[in-house]
Structure formats: structure tokens, C-alpha cells
Structure 1
Amino acid sequence: MSDASEGTPAPQAARPTRRIDARSLRGLAHPLRMSIFELLGLDGPATATGLAERLGESTGTVSWHLRHLAEHGFIEEETGRGTKRERWWRRTGVTNELNTADFRDDPDTRGALSVYLHELVQLYFSRVITYVGEDWDDRWRGAGTLADWSDLRLTPDQLAALNAELMAVVARHTPDPGAEPGPDALPVVVQLQSFPRKERVTG
């Protein structure tokens, strides 16, 4: 999910942060709710009808999940817009921080954590597949990248330091709230997955 991560969260200027607890994790850890939360983060406020059309679900089902997300503080109604029958929803202005170590020893939330992480990886994968399948001009194709590095050997502290440096780079390129983007600017997604790999002995 764009603002909840397994490790150190990306720095966010002037935004309050809340640490996801067991109750809110269970409220978010559902494939459809995570997809709704994702769309509201990427494309801004939307109605249940609009989200239902994009997700191929009924409006009633999406409305139920929207209320559930609101109950757990992930989204809120956009007041002054829409009608009693057609409400607009947006993400709250809070950075959600998830630390998996908080839940690994808790059997009551281990299942929700597993659902959340697997769905999060699927959302990341779907973003890349969408990008690969779309038609982009040469400028954007040349600017984007799909890369991996598998020849590093690091300690846990070194891996944490690497992640902190990478997130600091992203933060330096993140415009201040309210700043006007350039005339040819488009939304850009930066995805980072860095993790240890169990060593396999070949022979």
C-alpha cells in the first residue's frame, strides 16, 4: 500500500503519522478494501458508484467496505460535496505506518498480517503489469525503469541503512504540498522492495 510499509516509512513533511494497531490492521486487511484504499490514494476522492465501476463490484458492496474503512480511520467523507445518496470519500491526511514486528508474535493478528502483505505485493505487481501493458512514448519509456540487484551481501543494519538512504532520495524529489507541477508532469509511482534471501546450498 502506498503509505503503509513493512519497514521504515518514507519521510512525510507536515503529515501526522499513526502506527497501525491490531484492530486497524484487521480493518484494512481485505483484498477489496485494500483495492479501494489504493484507488483513493492514487486518484483522489471518489464515490461508491465510481469505485464500483472501476473494480467490477456492486455499489452496495463497495459502500459497505467504504464505511468499514472510515470506521477504522483510513478514509473520511469529503464534506460539502455530493448528496445524501451519493457521498464522496477521500483518504485521511495521515501517514499510516505498519511495523510487521508488532504482530508476528500475536496469533490473533498473524492471519490478518499475512492477508495484508500478500495483497500488498499483489497490488505492487498489478501496478507494474499495468505500466508494461500501456502505450507510452519514448520519453516516458526511457525515464521509467524496472531493475533489480541480487549480488549484495549485507547485515541487517546495512540493509536498514540502505533503505533509509533510498527513502531520503525519494523525499528530496517529493514536491512540497501545494507546489505547482511542471506542464508535462504526470503522477509517478516509486516502488521499492528490499529483503533478505535464504541462502541455498547447491551441489
Structure 2
Amino acid sequence: MAATEAAGSDNAADDPKTLSVDARTLRGLAHPLRIRLLNALREFGPATASGLGNRLGESSGATSYHLRQLATYGFVEDDPTLGKGRERWWRAAHSDSSIDTNFMRDADPEVRGAMNVVLHEIATTHAQELSTWLGTMHEWPEEWTQNWDLSDFKIRLTPELTSELAYKIHDLVNSYRGRVPEGTEGSAMVRTHTHLFPRPNA
């Protein structure tokens, strides 16, 4: 999950900023609120449990509990540079996650169930983000409302070519990383969603 996306692409697994999720950590992530908390920390930076609760509309007790669970599985960690007294700040331990899609066929039903929860929550997040953009795009400058995309394509491919296309898309998106320094006037964090899946012929 890229940033968010809480599932990342498998070809990012060797990146030290990417957490390669195994069966144990997958089960630790498989909760809608944990995925939302991780996404928020990756996108908006360090925060307290109460701050995250306000952002996500959850109680600080719930966010605190699930942050501790995420820490147990290596997704988040304390940020010692922030906070005063008993105030505890959290940060994402990695910028992305890489999840092996073969977990969908794992012999352990708990692993398959965890993968199902994670994938469906990611899909829900994608839909919510797009709906939010469509509902608020009138608030953005004209430069942004003229430069965005909502497209879909239908092409006949084999599984091998589908994988090749996915890798090429990921490589293309990653080639734009670092081209715009943080704080550049007129820039914004752009979310890119990719979905490739087969459809029945009839």
C-alpha cells in the first residue's frame, strides 16, 4: 500500500523505505482503522492518538490502542523529536508497504481473510479519495481543475502481459518522485490509483 495507499507494489520490496509484509504482519494490519491510521501518518506526518482521532472521527482510546498494535507489528514507531511530557507522538516506520498477492491463496484461512480485509479497505479508500476530489475540485485553482485524470481502458491481455503493464506503470509513476521539492509553490501531493483486473467475456 503506497502511502496508501496502505498495499504497495511487489517491485518496491527491495526499497529500504518499503516494509515487505509477511503473513504475521499482514494479520496485524488487517483492521480498517489500523489501515486508515497508517495511511494518515504516511500522508500527513507524525501525530498523536488524539490528533489522529480528530482527523478520522474516532476516539483517542481507539486510535491509541490500534497505534500500539501497529507498533507491535513494525508499521509505526514513537517519534522522539516531538511531544512534551506524557504526550506521545507517532510516525510511520516506512513510507510504503509491499504485500505479496499470493496471500490470497495461502493455506491458512486467517491469512486469506486478513488479505481480503486489507485489499477491500484499500479499494474503499481509493473510492473515497476520488469521491472527495470530485466533490471539492471547485475549491482548487483552475490549473488543477484542468490537469487531472479519470480514465478507464479495456484491452485484451494475457496474465504475463498484465503483470508487465503493471510494472511499467509503477516504474513510470516512480520516475516522477523527487522531481518537485517539498514546499514548491503551486504543487500538491497527487494521488495515483492503479487497478488492473480481468473481466468476463460475457
TM-score, normalised to structure 1's length? 0.88
Query: Aligned match of 1:147 in 137, 146, 151?
Result: 151
Query: How much does 1:45 deviate?
Result: 0.9
Could you tell me which residue of structure 1 aligns to residue 36 of structure 2? 35
For the 8 Å contact 2:8–2:96, the answer to whether it is kept is: no
Could you tell me which residue of structure 2 aligns to residue 89 of structure 1? 90
Q: Quick one: percent identity of the two aligned structures?
A: 38
Could you tell me which residue of structure 1 aligns to residue 65 of structure 2? 64
Query: Aligned match of 1:182 in 181, 184, 187?
Result: 184
For the 8 Å contact 2:2–2:96, the answer to whether it is kept is: no
Measured in 1, the distance between the counterparts of 2:159 and 2:122 equals: 23
Could you tell me which residue of structure 1 aligns to residue 80 of structure 2? 79
Describe the SS at the equivalent of 1:164.
helix
Could you tell me which residue of structure 1 aligns to residue 2 of structure 2? 2
Query: How much does 1:15 deviate?
Result: 2.8
Give the RMSD, CA atoms, in angstroms: 2.2
Measured in 2, the distance between the counterparts of 1:132 and 1:198 equals: 29
Query: How much does 1:6 deviate?
Result: 6.8
For the 8 Å contact 2:13–2:98, the answer to whether it is kept is: no
1:169-198 Cα offsets, whole Å, 9 max, x none, are: 11111117x945532111111111111112
- 2:34 maps to a residue whose letter is R
Could you tell me which residue of structure 2 aligns to residue 114 of structure 1? 116
The runs of 5 or more residues in structure 2 that have no matched partner are: none
Distance 1:7 1:91, change over 3 A: closer
Distance 1:19 1:10, change over 3 A: closer
For the 8 Å contact 1:15–1:95, the answer to whether it is kept is: no
Query: How much does 1:102 deviate?
Result: 3.3
Query: How much does 1:58 deviate?
Result: 1.1
Query: How much does 1:142 deviate?
Result: 1.1
Kindly indicate whether structure 1 or structure 2 has the higher relative contact order, using CA contacts under 8 Å at least 6 residues apart: 1
Describe the SS at the equivalent of 1:148.
coil
For the 8 Å contact 2:23–2:111, the answer to whether it is kept is: yes
Distance 1:10 1:195, change over 3 A: farther
Describe the SS at the equivalent of 1:80.
coil
Moved more, 26-35 or 132-141: 132-141
Could you tell me which residue of structure 1 aligns to residue 21 of structure 2? 20
Measured in 2, the distance between the counterparts of 1:180 and 1:118 equals: 31
The runs of 5 or more residues in structure 1 that have no matched partner are: none
Query: How much does 1:164 deviate?
Result: 1.3
Query: How much does 1:137 deviate?
Result: 2.4
Could you tell me which residue of structure 1 aligns to residue 162 of structure 2? 159
Distance 1:136 1:10, change over 3 A: farther
Distance 1:172 1:33, change over 3 A: same
Distance 1:41 1:104, change over 3 A: same
TM-score, normalised to structure 2's length? 0.88
Measured in 1, the distance between the counterparts of 2:156 and 2:183 equals: 39
Measured in 1, the distance between the counterparts of 2:38 and 2:18 equals: 17
Query: How much does 1:55 deviate?
Result: 1.4
For the 8 Å contact 2:12–2:18, the answer to whether it is kept is: no
Total equivalences in the alignment: 197
Query: How much does 1:126 deviate?
Result: 0.8
